[in-house]
């Protein structure tokens, strides 16, 4: 089961990176309806206009703005581009210089950071790394992690989150 979740995470990272390329260069697709209008899972392209930015939690973050692109909240998050994925969440995160997300862990999800712009320091368990554009950091469930913008410019990161199936071991 672990390899299936990891494969899903890797495919999600690749798909999110390709979606971001279209996002960054203004690509548009023709769609019959907005992802917000969907009532059940189906294939979609989420455009920048479909996502509303939200500030990060003031108790957990400093200098963070999130754009929730894909979510599995089943319509409960009005800021998300599309909310009917099965287990996948993709968030475009923008950190101002000095911005951070405080140390935390997720017992019920695997995550990956894909650094798009800027310079980050990432702590994964007891290891600390410096990361720049193109770096992918894999975070297994239950591993404490933290991210800081250590550069003088904005740090842009795609956070890919896959909720574990309740039958999968942590």
User: Does any domain span residue 91?
Assistant: yes
Q: What values do phi and psi take at 27, rounded to 5?
A: -65, 145
Torsion on CA atoms 150, 151, 153, 157, rounded to nearest 10:
-60
Q: Give me the CATH number covering residue 96.
A: 2.60.120.10
Domain count, the chain: 1
In-domain check, residue 79: yes
Give residue 66's domain range: 2-29+44-163
Q: Does any domain span residue 36? A: no
pLDDT exceeds cutoff 50 at 24: no
pLDDT, one tens digit per residue, over 90-141 is: 999 999 999 999 999 999 999 999 999 999 999 999 999 999 999 999 999 9
Distances (CA, A) of 159 to 29, 39, 40, 56, 115: 23, 24, 23, 13, 9
* Both structure tokens of 119: 């310079």
Cα gap 5→87, rounded to integer Å: 10
**Looking at the domain assignment, is residue 170 inside a domain?**
no
Radius of gyration of the chain (CA): 16
């Amino acid at each position: 089961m672990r390899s299936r979740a990891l494969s899903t995470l890797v495919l999600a990272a690749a798909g999110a990176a390709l979606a971001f390329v279209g996002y960054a260069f203004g690509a548009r697709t023709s769609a019959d309806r907005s992802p917000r209008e969907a009532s059940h899972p189906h294939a979609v392209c989420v455009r920048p206009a479909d996502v509303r930015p939200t500030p990060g939690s003031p108790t957990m973050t400093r200098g963070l703005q999130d754009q929730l692109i894909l979510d599995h909240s089943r319509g409960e998050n009005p800021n998300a581009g599309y909310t009917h994925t099965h287990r996948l969440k993709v968030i475009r995160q923008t950190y101002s210089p000095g911005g951070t997300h405080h140390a935390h862990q997720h017992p019920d999800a695997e995550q990956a950071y894909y650094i798009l712009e800027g310079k980050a320091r990432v702590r994964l368990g007891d290891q600390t790394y410096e990361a720049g554009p193109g770096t992918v950091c894999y975070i297994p469930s239950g591993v404490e992690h933290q991210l800081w913008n250590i550069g003088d410019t904005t740090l842009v990161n795609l956070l890919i989150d896959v909720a574990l199936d309740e039958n999968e071991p942590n």
